[in-house]
């Protein structure tokens, strides 16, 4: 299967999207072990990044993901910068850097300015982008401008976006009672 520039995992809450994106992002960073590259993780807030991404990433791969005072941590010899994205001015903290990848956690909750700036920062060679999301409504700009464009190609014939839809039943680790309760 061809590797897309942008990988989007979208769909139901608790369906395993973030778990899988943690694996994809970690694998991407590890491919460049020791390169000294910079990567971006955005989330609604830095606290939500810690809770949704960093703590599970640390548990899954036994890695230290403690954020330093400048909002970054080291992973496989690369620097990962974490940015909250809930305000119109949030993007200003990431200007000027060159990134080799971006993980957008719950990207539909992020301000469009930050989304635009994160795209602008991903100018490193072969930079990849990983999003997980649950668009609130069918006309959400993320759904229309990205999710619905799954399968489109860049001018060089590289796959631009690939989106996968997740249902609650895709997570086999959820208790049956929980699944039934959510479906009611």
Does domain 6-183 correspond to CATH entry 3.40.50.300?
Answer: yes
Which pLDDT score is estimated for 28? 98
Predicted TM-score (pTM) of this structure: 0.95
Q: Which helix (H) or strand (E) is 120 found in, with range?
A: helix 112-121
- Mean pLDDT for 129-151 is 95
- Mean pLDDT for 102-126 is 97
Closest to 82 (Cα-Cα) out of 117, 48, 122, 106 = 48
Which pLDDT score is estimated for 2? 86
How are strands ordered across the β-sheet holding 72-75?
72-75, 78-84, 38-43, 101-105, 128-133, 6-11, 161-166
Question: Model confidence at 109, in pLDDT bands (50, 70, 90)?
Answer: very high
DSSP bridge pairs for 161 = 6
Least confident of 1-5, 33-37, 81-85, 148-152: 1-5
pLDDT tens digits, 19-73: 999 999 999 999 999 999 999 999 999 999 999 999 999 999 999 999 999 999 9
| Angstrom distance (rounded) from CA 67 to CA 166 | 30
């Amino acid at each position: 299967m061809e590797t897309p520039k942008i990988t989007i995992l979208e769909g139901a809450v608790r369906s395993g999207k973030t778990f899988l994106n943690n694996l994809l992002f970690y694998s991407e960073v590890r491919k460049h072990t020791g390169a000294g590259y910079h990567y971006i993780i955005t989330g609604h807030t830095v606290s939500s990044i810690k809770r949704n991404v960093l703590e599970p990433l640390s548990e899954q791969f036994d890695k230290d993901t403690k954020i330093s005072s400048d909002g970054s941590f080291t992973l496989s010899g690369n620097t990962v910068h974490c940015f909250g994205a809930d305000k119109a001015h949030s993007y200003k903290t990431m200007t000027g850097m060159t990134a080799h990848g971006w993980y957008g956690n719950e990207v539909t909750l992020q301000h469009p300015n930050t989304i635009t700036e994160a795209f602008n920062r991903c100018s490193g060679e072969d930079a990849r982008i990983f999003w997980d999301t649950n668009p609130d409504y069918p006309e959400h700009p993320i759904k229309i401008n990205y999710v619905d464009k799954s399968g489109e190609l860049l001018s060089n014939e590289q796959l631009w976006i690939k989106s996968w839809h997740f249902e609650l039943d895709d997570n086999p680790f959820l208790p049956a009672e929980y699944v039934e309760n959510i479906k009611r």
